[in-house]
Structure 1
Amino acid sequence: MATRTALAGVRPAIERSLSRTVASLPAVLQIAGAATAGYAIAHFALGHPTPIFSSTVAITALGFSRDARPIRVAETALGIILGIVLADLLLLGIGRGWWQLFVVLAVTFLAARLLSPSVGFAAAAGVQSALVTLFPVVSGQEFTRVLDGLIGGAVALVATALIPRDPRRAALRDARLLFDECTESLAAITAALRIADADTAVRALSRLRGTQPLVDAWSTSLESGAAVARISPFLRRHLADFDRQRRVQRGMDLATRNLRIIARRVEFLVPDGRERPELAELLGTISECITLLGRALRTPSLFEVARRDLTVLAKHLHPALLDEPSISETMVLVLIRPLIVDLLTATGMDEDDARALLPPLPA
């Protein structure tokens, strides 16, 4: 039994590792191809015997970062080249040794922090300046390393455009994680209202409080994907898809914030032990609409279906929808109204038009 339990705990970790490996395959091919191309250009075309930096610059500039924007790749490459240039210049004046390594790194870090607020920029410059200081070089070839670095940076930028990592898939994966978390949390809130279970409400609130990193990850993927698509001839036709996803992401960002407030209110509401099937049914319907919205990212025709269902909901969001509601129950319904507006804007409806659908509240 203990062995079976241990294996059950290991299996999800193995599945996550395999999933991460498969998802990294496009990045692996891109980085390996760029590093090899940089080496080949410097070695065979320019005759550099060991063009280490043409490969290391390409590898470091591309990396496995979620942010694959060309500006980020270029910034990293420039940081690396800065480290190489400063190290070469300083070593010409002070020679090599243990204390020279300290001086080179200190100057490189200070210069990098002066030029850029990015800690990655400074780290990239420092690593390369250390390599230049520690690796011997043949006399007369000191500045070939700068040329190798420029080749590596240029190859990394070309690879970003010509060997893209399919940023659409990464963005859709991040979107799916957020939608799954929202629908599962809503299912928990619905159950808490239906059976008056305070523990379930607490768990739902805890899950929703952890959704902001998912929202931010999706936003980063979209910004990166759109930036790559603007320079890639293979992805430019998908810019409209990124714009549509960005609209949905903005709506879901606001919607998750409202869901947290609703979950907090429900957590306060259910300890009285009273079942609330009407509110549960309402939130269950909203969960179905959110599921439709998530599916619409792959099947855009479903946006119209989600908009239609949300429009029907919006028109009925009045305290009269509930049977003799308490003040607390009315508050939950009032909090649902801006949530519906956020979801309608995610479908493409104008915010003012969405607000106009809501019935006026009694004075």
Structure 2
Amino acid sequence: MSRTGAIPLDRPSLARRLADAVAERARAGVGRGRKDWLIIARAAFAAAVAYLVSGLLWGHEHPFFASIAAFVIIGFSADAKVRKVFEMSGGVMMGILLGELARTTIGSGTWQIFVVIFCAGLLARLVDSGITFGIQTSIQSLLVMIMPATPTMSPGGRILDALTGVSIAILVHLLLSGDPRKIQRRAADSFFQELEDTLVALALAARSGSADIARAALVNLRSTSQKYTDAWKLANDAANEMATFSPTGLRHADDVARMKHLLIGSDRAMRNARVIARREVEFLSVVAGEPHSTLADALLAGRDAVTAIRDGVEDEVDFTTARRQLRLFSSYLTPETLLISDDGLRPGRAGHFEGVTLVIQLRSLAIDLLEATGLPQRDAKRFLPSLIVAADGDTVGPRPMTREMAAIEPPATTEALELLIADRSDPDRRL
């Protein structure tokens, strides 16, 4: 027996925990470096070319303002929008002009630095609401004030260097931005990974009958899902601008547009996942923790469909396989299939409302994902099995299909479904 307050024998030592923390940070840093090395190389290339070109054009011995302007405009962001590039360019030029004006009129010194940065900040807020614009304006005016004057670096020379750096940065951004689909795919990959993890957690909750696991998944999804949607929207905007203005991105305009459309249904699916998690918490609470393996299997089939959509994004935005997976997911989605526990018990009247609303929400998730692959809602609904059910006493089951009901909800044929599946999202590319 250990003494009260003693460190448990299985707890790692302080040195071990510090080593693990350092190793984790190192792994994360290496991962960031591998992901962003090309972006960093592009910024360094822009700075070097701006320095070279400014020296050749204007004969300046040390045209460092050209390198500074080019580097800060390109930066480390792979998804910088054209508007942001021009915004930063404007901030750089306005800051240098303000600095030159202040240095010429009031000189350079401690109080002059205070005055010029204060005025630059106020003017930047007046001109533009962006934080980046204000920071660049203030920093560039400060650099002009504190850099020592040299015989070859006149006020006009610094402005020429800055103009050269700005021009080089814009050209590099437009010509060397690369494939605009990459930033969309990166954002979509993170988005779908979050959705997959949620469905796996909900499947685990259903298989174990634990409302606590479902509740934890709900809390996590509420706190993180919106940032993935926002990141994808920003990536779409940047990719759309690259496909519009960049000569290297024009040929990818159609795929960029399909990825923008994919977000519409996917965002609805993510919102639905939050409601599904809440409904599952309520359902598992009502049925007193009874395991529901069929519900878990359905959720895992949904996860497989999301994985197929993510793979389709990498495969030229082709969702043929994803639609087949969604057909399998949809086949589960009736109350008489999903609401039976592992012991063969139905939820009864007490759990009827929570169970059926959970099924309805899962069906809505299937529709959202099918629409995300390019199907119109009318065709997406044909993937779903009939949902004409009745609650009689403590049972939930299908009603007899009358002629009137059949006219309202005709069954989908295998041939029709295969046609929908094989009809890829690009009309010019069919099986």
The TM-score with structure 2 as length reference comes to 0.77
Distance 1:259 1:102 in 2: 52
Match of 2:393 in 1: none
SS in 2 for 1:26: helix
Match of 1:171 in 2: 184
Distance 1:279 1:311 in 2: 16
Count residues with an aligned counterpart: 363
Asked if the contact 1:27/1:165 (under 8 Å) is kept, the reply is no
Q: How do residues 180-199 of structure 1 correspond to structure 2 at under 5 angstroms?
A: 180-199=193-212
CA distances 1:155-208 after superposition (whole Å, capped 9, x unpaired): 001101222254433332232222222112211101101111233223322332
- Mean Cα deviation higher: 285-294 or 106-115: 106-115
Asked if the contact 2:209/2:290 (under 8 Å) is kept, the reply is yes
Match of 1:327 in 2: 353
**Structure 1 residue 6: deviation in Å?**
5.4
Identity %: 32
C-alpha spacing 1:138/1:61, structure 2 compared with 1 (3 Å): same
Asked if the contact 2:175/2:246 (under 8 Å) is kept, the reply is yes
Matched, 1:228 2:248: no
Matched, 1:245 2:263: no
Match of 1:347 in 2: 373
Distance 1:290 1:27 in 2: 30
Asked if the contact 1:205/1:263 (under 8 Å) is kept, the reply is yes
Greater helix proportion: 1
Q: Of 315, 326, 332, which aligns to 1:299?
A: 315
Q: Of 137, 144, 163, which aligns to 1:125?
A: 137
**Structure 1 residue 297: deviation in Å?**
0.5
Question: What amino acid does structure 1 have at the position aligned with 2:171?
Answer: V
Distance 1:257 1:267 in 2: 16
Distance 1:131 1:145 in 2: 11
Distance 1:333 1:238 in 2: 39
SS in 1 for 2:374: coil
Match of 1:284 in 2: 300
Asked if the contact 1:292/1:302 (under 8 Å) is kept, the reply is no
Distance 1:285 1:312 in 2: 7
**Structure 1 residue 360: deviation in Å?**
5.6
Match of 1:103 in 2: 115
Distance 1:165 1:98 in 2: 44
Structure 2: segments with no counterpart, 5+ residues: 1-11, 341-345, 391-431
**Structure 1 residue 116: deviation in Å?**
0.9
Question: What amino acid does structure 2 have at the position aligned with 1:96?
Answer: S
Distance 1:72 1:183 in 2: 33
Asked if the contact 2:255/2:316 (under 8 Å) is kept, the reply is no
Q: How do residues 52-71 of structure 1 correspond to structure 2 at under 5 angstroms?
A: 52-71=64-83
Q: Of 232, 240, 248, which aligns to 1:218?
A: 232
Distance 2:51 2:250 in 1: 29
Give the number of the structure whose alpha-carbon radius of gyration is greater: 2
**Structure 1 residue 75: deviation in Å?**
1.0
Q: How do residues 45-56 of structure 1 correspond to structure 2 at under 5 angstroms?
A: 45-56=57-68
C-alpha spacing 1:216/1:263, structure 2 compared with 1 (3 Å): same
Match of 2:411 in 1: none
CA distances 1:37-70 after superposition (whole Å, capped 9, x unpaired): 1111111221123222111111111111353222
**Structure 1 residue 76: deviation in Å?**
0.3
**Structure 1 residue 14: deviation in Å?**
2.3
Matched, 1:149 2:165: no
- Mean Cα deviation higher: 2-11 or 269-278: 2-11
C-alpha spacing 1:150/1:361, structure 2 compared with 1 (3 Å): farther
- Mean Cα deviation higher: 151-160 or 268-277: 268-277
Asked if the contact 2:180/2:252 (under 8 Å) is kept, the reply is no
SS in 2 for 1:297: helix
Asked if the contact 2:312/2:321 (under 8 Å) is kept, the reply is no
Over aligned residue pairs, what C-alpha RMSD do you find? 2.4
**Structure 1 residue 221: deviation in Å?**
2.2
**Structure 1 residue 281: deviation in Å?**
2.1
Asked if the contact 2:124/2:133 (under 8 Å) is kept, the reply is yes
The structure with higher relative contact order (CA 8 Å, sep 6+) is 1
